A and B are shown apart, each in its own frame.
Chain A
């Protein structure tokens, strides 16, 4: 039998995971235009227009100033704070010719080399980063 879950408890638990922002409805709503902007980069002509004048292109979208500044700075943590989702934002780093590993690594505070080496060494251990409250 299916266990039905209480949506409030379901969502509240996500805040207990360190260094992680789950793409909830709240974030999806906040980041709507940021994500739609990123989607627009799936068209070659839009990528050209964006590269020619990033600020002017961003001003065509109803995004918050904070989201625009985060894009201009390629600050992926800040973009995610503004409701961005990594799969949408992948259109931006792909436009820049960068990989998922580049984008993910840039969010950790490590250098690209350190991050790549951590992955080769088996990745980040879940030990101690599963739960803030439980500290395990």
Chain B
């Protein structure tokens, strides 16, 4: 039987990818960020922690989806996914290799469980998906595990509610646990934390909000399930809404979760960065 063994969160900002590409990941600005990821990198490199499959929850940043198609929840069921060209050429990273058997199983199970998923058989993945892989796995020739990309619309309003995201996570857990093959599956929630990339209020960071979010994500997710979008917008900036995606990860861990590791850093370019490793308790 497949099992969800851990949940990770990670920033997915493109500047982290650029830092690796330009060889500046050790400088004064980026060094502390990459140092902060060291724990998770070493943890996941241990054979007992290395997942067979990562369900990678992220938002597409107008790469696979333009204004013509805006799925609230989509799931990548393809054999593989190419790195998207976001205007500066594709990120030079390996293709993301999918797990179509598990992905289709999850898609079917979720639909029966009343989540109306959009099924993607061809999709390029942007920095939202590939930067977390680079941050956790470094720069290998091929990614060390299969990845099921799960894009969530947090760009065009309204995005899904926090509660809906939580429930999707619960349904993903049920779906994974009904897959007959023995697989170690992790769910990653990416994006966040507080940040705003537009308008005169750009640059907003709210450490107090972020800290409370981390605490409650672990121990009191009930508050976050019912936090309205306006509170994210006011407190965590217009792009801080990405944090609803963390609730999919958290919902997939079950009622109780244990914190293995936490790293929080300001600033990573325009954002506050939160990197957590959790496991079901």
Contacts and interface: CB of A to CB of B under 8 A. Distances in A.
A73 interface: no
Dominant secondary structure of chain A at its interface with chain B: helix
A87 B226 CA distance: 27
The 5 closest A-B pairs by CB, nearest first: A123-B205, A94-B87, A19-B201, A19-B200, A119-B267
Given A91-B62, A100-B14, A126 B89 contact: no
Dominant secondary structure of chain B at its interface with chain A: loop
23 contacts: A3-B226, A17-B233, A19-B199, A20-B199, A21-B199, A22-B233, A23-B156, A36-B67, A86-B197, A88-B62, A88-B66, A100-B13, A100-B14, A100-B197, A104-B196, A104-B203, A105-B203, A122-B207, A123-B194, A123-B205, A126-B234, A129-B201, A130-B234
Given A115-B203, A123-B205, A129-B204, A92 B87 contact: yes
A87 B199 contact: no
Contact of B235 (A94, A95, A122, A130): A130
A123 B203 contact: yes
Interface string A101-134: 1011101110000010011101111100111000
A91 B86 CA distance: 6
B281 interface: no
Interface of A: 2-3, 5, 10-11, 13-14, 17-25, 28, 32, 35-36, 38-39, 41-44, 47, 76-77, 80, 85-88, 90-95, 97, 99-101, 103-105, 107-109, 115, 118-120, 122-126, 129-131
Interface residues of B, number: 51
B157 A32 contact: no
Contacts of B88: 94-95, 97
Interface stretch (B158-166, B214-222, B244-252): B158-166
B204 A123 contact: yes
Contacts of A10: 158, 229-230
A43 B201 contact: no
Given A25-B156, A100-B13, A20 B66 contact: no
